[in-house]
Amino acid sequence: MELMTVDPRSLKDNPDKARQSKSSPQSDALLCASIRAIGVVQPPVVKLDPEGGNSYIIVFGHRRAAQAVAAELTEIPVLVADPGDDLGAMQSFAENIAREPLNPVDQWRAIERLVALGWTEESIALALALPARQLRKLRLLANILPAMLDHMARGDMPNEQQLRTIAAAGQDEQAEVWKKYKPKKQEPQVSWWEVARALTRTRMLAKHASFGDDLAQAYGITWVEDLFAPADEDSRYTTDIEAFLGAQQEWLSNNLPKRGAIIEANEYGQAKLPAKAQQVYGKPGKGDLTGWYINARDGSVQSVAYRMPEAKKPKVVKDADGVDTVVEDLEAPKARPDVTQKGLDMVGDLRTDALHEALARAPIENDTLTALLVLALTGQNVTIASGASDNPYGHAKCAPHAVRLVDEDGKLSFDRETLGQVARSVLIEVLSLRRNRSDSGMVARIAGDAIGADQFLTSMASEEFLSCLSRTALEAVAETAGVAGRVKVKDTRAAVVEHFADDRLVLPAAAIAPDAAEVLAWASRFTSATSNLEEEDDETAPVTEDEAPASDRSGADGADDFREAAE
């Protein structure tokens, strides 16, 4: 090959070039900036135009030639291939794909070598088209412990956050931590999060500092710039926590506003208000105070408004001689409750055990059992999504109905007619077949079948409902009713509505009563649970008269039987 200098504008593109897709504008801008700064480092390879003339066709280096034109270079070096060289498609493909970018560690070391050769940071950044801040960041990473760099160069790299933490620590600290966490033969991978955690140091940011440079110098605070932080914010920090907090405290003492007081903060950074003080969350009033404190987590000065309760006016009493005497109201000490909270918890457990035992073993009449079931649905531990309300997110309100079963003495007392009315009202609150969160499912359909609810379905022969049917379903309804079909669907709907004007239409698929197969499929899911309950019922079966002890049968009324069984 022959090296020569040509005008990049005279070079022709190769129609069979390997890189057909356009490169990104960012990569083109980077290459153009590099060529403008240091020229074309690797000359493109060209060959004579086979159609004749003195022009050349680019074999390799189309982007370099194009960006040289964009950089307004008049001459660039090129390598002219011999006519006999077979620069085929495989060479073109390999020349574009077999380029491996520099390892990040090698990039850091290369920058250090350039600095050692006399290059300035500004000149390196200009030549590589890199921001100066990015270059300083790479130089900081190059100061990582050499043993760590050697391991990173093998491909085991920490993430960016971990790199930031490691690079911010001194090499003495890095060497101590690396000695503990360096890879072993059986574990070649490094746990970088443990390395970063061991090197993490608490920082106080300059943007949280209320004091100025004078106090910073007085306390010996030296700011360090975090090169990994966003460039548009103050990223300076210090690890001298005591000096930072001391400077903040002195500034706060010298700049305390009127009606302001210095208060303490807890370990979570929240203010500790004075005794009996109430925090003001809205706009502070004229009589409110302001508490100033230092957040121990980030060292920032924060404030909170609060108000103190009004002082009670002294009580003045006149004696027989007309002399005023101030009488102080002394708050009576709070008496200890008869039963502690733990004792109330124990009472609740004992009550529950007794209630469950009575429900399992005591004789209960059917009407009373129905009333107890109604009461159970009104318990404060029961939440039922109801379909009786217009609000789809409403809950059943059974208590207003259940109170009809309780008399003036607070006892369960009712007649059968009242019990029936209350049971109906509660069932209305509970059972639902709406297509929302209140849907009761199969149990509501079984209940509806038992009471003949299908007879109460209103006619579905309306434009609003029939418009929800497909053409096939609508024509099936019309055929079953003996209505001749129409060409247009809307005409068929109108004919069906007219046919059922004095009759009732119920779509078979909309019937409440379920098929036997559906019910059996639903019941089969609970067969195993039912068998387990039957085994338990054998152990907790109600006590009958024949099984009860002789002392239990001495009384004739059911109250004695209930009392003895409960005992």
C-alpha closest to that of 10 among 60, 37, 46, 35: 46
Task: Look at residue 410 in the predicted model and tell me its pLDDT.
Answer: 87
The Cα–Cα gap between 424 and 418 comes to 10
Kindly write down the DSSP assignment for every residue of 498-516, as one continuous string: HHTTTS----GGG-SSPPH
| Amino acid 296: pLDDT | 80
| Helical ranges in 500-557 per DSSP H | 516-524, 527-539
Contact assessment for residue 203 and residue 228, using Cβ atoms and an 8 Å cutoff: no
pLDDT the model gives residue 61: 81
pLDDT of residue 149: 84
Cα dist. 296→52, 106, 229 in Å?
Answer: 80, 41, 22
Give the pLDDT confidence score for residue 264 in this predicted structure. Answer: 86
Query: What averages of pLDDT result for each successive group of 10 residues across the chain (567 residues)?
Result: 82 69 75 82 80 76 86 86 58 52 70 80 74 74 81 81 82 88 84 88 88 91 81 84 90 87 81 86 84 86 87 70 66 75 84 83 87 84 81 80 86 88 87 85 86 88 90 90 88 91 87 89 74 55 47 41 39
Q: How far is CA 509 from CA 432, 447, 480, 501, in A?
A: 17, 18, 14, 21
Read off φ and ψ for residue 427, nearest 5 degrees.
-65, -35
pLDDT of residue 547: 45
pTM of the full structure: 0.39
Structure tokens at 263: 């208060």
What residue has token string 């007794």? Answer: 354
Q: What distances in angstroms separate CA 513 from CA 369, 428, 496, one per listed residue?
A: 27, 17, 24
* Residue among 33, 75, 82, 40 at smallest CA distance from 61: 40
Whether 478 contacts 425, CB under 8 Å = no
Angstrom CA distances, 477 to 8, 489, 503, stand at 81, 12, 14
Q: What are phi and psi of 20, to 5 degrees?
A: -90, -35
Computed on alpha carbons and rounded to an integer, the radius of gyration of the chain in Å comes to 45
- List Cβ neighbours of 547 (8 Å cut-off, separation of 6 or more): none
Cβ–Cβ < 8 Å for 35, 129: no
State the virtual CA torsion across 420, 425, 430, 433 in degrees, nearest 10. 100
Residue 425 parent element (H or E): helix 416-430
Query: Residue 220: its pLDDT value, please?
Result: 92
